[in-house]
A and B are shown apart, each in its own frame.
Chain A
Amino acid sequence: MSIDNLAELQAAIERGQVLDFSKVSSNGSTSRYQSYWRLGSLPGVGVTPPASPGQTLDRNSPGAFSIVPAAPGNDLYVAGLVLQASSLSIGTLVIADRLVEVGGLNLNLLGPQAVNSVPIPARAGTGEGCGIWIDVVVRAGTTSTTAVVTYTNQDGVPGRVSEQSLALSAQQWPHAMCPVPLQPGDTGVRSVESVELSAATGAGTFAVVILKRITEILTINSVVEKQDTDFMKTGLAKFDSDAALQFLANATTTSTAAINGRLITAEG
C-alpha cells in the first residue's frame, strides 16, 4: 500500500509508533561509523554476534527496536526523528536493518577466515540493496588493516570478491563499523562465505554483518537543541515490519555521543 496525500499521512502517523531510544556514548575513531547495537540502554543491548554460521536478526532480537508489525497490506515508514545528542561527535545518524551477523572472527589472523553465514532473512528478498560491514567486537591491535570479503550476490552468484573495506584504524575501538564495497556491478548480497584481512592487527575480534541502510539524518544541530526531523527529510523511507532496526553514527571525533529521542513511524 502507499500514502497518497496529507490526510492519509496524518492517519498513517497516528497508526504508527513512537519508538523511544536512549543510547550511551562509546569510544570511537574519526571517519569511522560507530554502531549503537551493543550499547545500552533503550533498545536493550544486542548480544555478542555468534560464531559461524551466525544468526539472522529481526524485531524480536535483543538490540532491536520493538516494532509492532504493520497490518496486512500496510507498509511502515520513517516519518520523523527527534534527537538530542550529548556532543557534536556524531555528524550523521544512519538508520539500518541489521539482517545477519557472524562473529568470532579474529582480527589477529592472516589468510581467509570461513564465515559461511546463514542466508539473509526473507524480508531482504534477493539481497538487493544489502551491504557488508565489518563490526569490531573486541578492540583491535596496533596495526591498521582492511578486509576483503567473498560473498554471494543479489543474483545468487557465489564467489564474488569485494573491494577493500574502509580501513580499521590501529587499536580500533569496539562498535566501529566499516563498510565493504561490493564487487563492481553487484548491487546486493545474500550471504558471506569468507573474509580476509590485509594485516593482522595484533589483537581483537570482529563480526561480519549484512546490513540494509534505510536512511541517514544529519544530526549536527542536535547538541544545541532537540533536533526535529520530519517526513520530508526522512523521505518517508520504508522499512519492513520484521526489521532489526539499529543506529550507526559517523564519528567526527574519537567518541560518539550519547543520544536520546524518539523515532516516529507511519503505517499506511
Chain B
Amino acid sequence: MAIESLDQLIAGLSRSQDLRIFKTPVTATAGRYASLWTLGTLPAPGSTPPAGSGEAPTKNTPGAFSFTNPAPGEKSYLGAASGAGHLAGSLIVLDRLVHTSGLVGNSAAVQAVNTVPLPARAPAGGPGTIWLEWYTSTGATSVNASASYTNQDGVAGRTTPLISLGATRRVAEMIPLPLQSGDSGVLSVQSVTLSASTGTAGNFGVTLARRIAEIPMVLGNTGFTLDALDLGMPEIADDACLMMAWLVAGTATPWLLGSMNLIQG
C-alpha cells in the first residue's frame, strides 16, 4: 500500500510521528558539507563508526532518529518539516546505509575499506554517491582523494574522479565523491587513496547514504516550513538510519531546532 490520495495524506499527518531536532553548532567551512551525526542533542549524538569494513546502521543505532516502522503493507514518508536556525545553509536528510572509519590522512597508500554489504533497504544498485566523513581532523596539506568501488551492476574496480580535499578537513566534515562516468550506484567500496599525506593522521571513513530531502534555509535567523508537496513526500524505508548533514554557508553549522513529520499509510 502507499499514500495515494489527499485523504490518505491527511490521515497520515494527523497520526504523524514527530522526529525532533535539536543540534548544537560545530565549526565548519563555507561551501562544505558538515555531518550532524556526532553532534548533540536530538537525535542523540552518534559514535564514530567501527574501523575497517564498518557496519550497516539502523534506526536503533545511536545518532539516528527513532521511529516506529509502519504496519505491514504500509509505507513511511516525510510529510512535513519545520525548524529554525541562526545561520544560513541547507539541511540534507539522509538514510545512512553503511559507515566506516579508521582511514588516515597521513598516507598515500591504498587504504583498504571493503565495506559491509548494503542493507536490504538500500535502493536497487546502491546509492549514487560515496561520502567521505571526518571524525578527527586531518592535516593542512591539500591533497586529492579517490575511491575504488563496485558499481550498480556488480562491476568491481571502478574509480571515482580525483577530488581535492582542500586544506584541513575538520571533524564532522563530509565530502561527496562523484562516481565514474556512466555509473549510477555503489554496491560497495573497496579502498580509498589520497594523493599525498595531509600531514596529520586524523580519522575519516566512508559513508554510503541515500538522499532523502534537501531543505534550504536561505537566510540566517530564519527557518523553514515545508509540506509534503515541497518535500516530494520522499519514502522512508523501514529501519532507516535517518541522519542530517548541513551545507555550510558561513563558518559553522547553526543552533538548529525543529522537527520532521513521519507519516505512514
Chain A residues with a Cβ under 8 A of chain B: 2-9, 30-31, 33, 75, 77, 91-92, 94, 129, 131, 163, 166, 179, 181-187, 213, 215-218, 220, 229, 231-236, 238, 250-252, 268
Measured CA separation A251–B83 after assembly (Å): 14
Q: Mark B51-92, 1 if CB is under 8 A from A, else 0.
A: 000000000001000000000000000011011101000000
Measured CA separation A163–B16 after assembly (Å): 29
Pairwise interchain contact A6-B225, C-beta atoms closer than 8 A: no
A155, chain B: closest CB distance, angstroms: 13
Q: 27 pairs across A/B with beta carbons < 8 Å?
A: A3-B11, A4-B10, A4-B11, A5-B10, A30-B221, A91-B222, A92-B223, A163-B40, A163-B41, A182-B40, A184-B45, A185-B62, A213-B259, A215-B259, A216-B82, A216-B223, A216-B259, A218-B82, A220-B219, A231-B10, A232-B228, A233-B227, A235-B16, A235-B79, A236-B10, A236-B13, A250-B84
Q: How large is the interface on B (under 10, 10 to 19, 20 to 34, 35 or more residues)?
A: 35 or more
Pairwise interchain contact A4-B227, C-beta atoms closer than 8 A: no
Pairwise interchain contact A236-B255, C-beta atoms closer than 8 A: no
B16: chain A residues within 8 A (beta carbon): 235-236
Q: Mark B75-116, 1 if CB is under 8 A from A, else 0.
A: 000011011101000000000000000000000000000000
Interface residues in B201-239 by Cβ distance below 8 A to A read 219-229
Other-chain contact of A232, B7, B45, B227, B257 (Cβ < 8 Å): B227
How many A-B pairs have beta carbons closer than 8 Å: the answer is 132
B99, chain A: closest CB distance, angstroms: 19
Interface membership of B44, Cβ < 8 A: yes
Interface membership of B136, Cβ < 8 A: no
Pairwise interchain contact B84-A92, C-beta atoms closer than 8 A: yes
B222: chain A residues within 8 A (beta carbon): 91-92, 218, 220, 250, 252
Interface membership of B146, Cβ < 8 A: no
Measured CA separation A190–B16 after assembly (Å): 24
B41: chain A residues within 8 A (beta carbon): 163, 181-184, 186
B6: chain A residues within 8 A (beta carbon): 5-6
Interface membership of B251, Cβ < 8 A: no
A186: chain B residues within 8 A (beta carbon): 41, 44
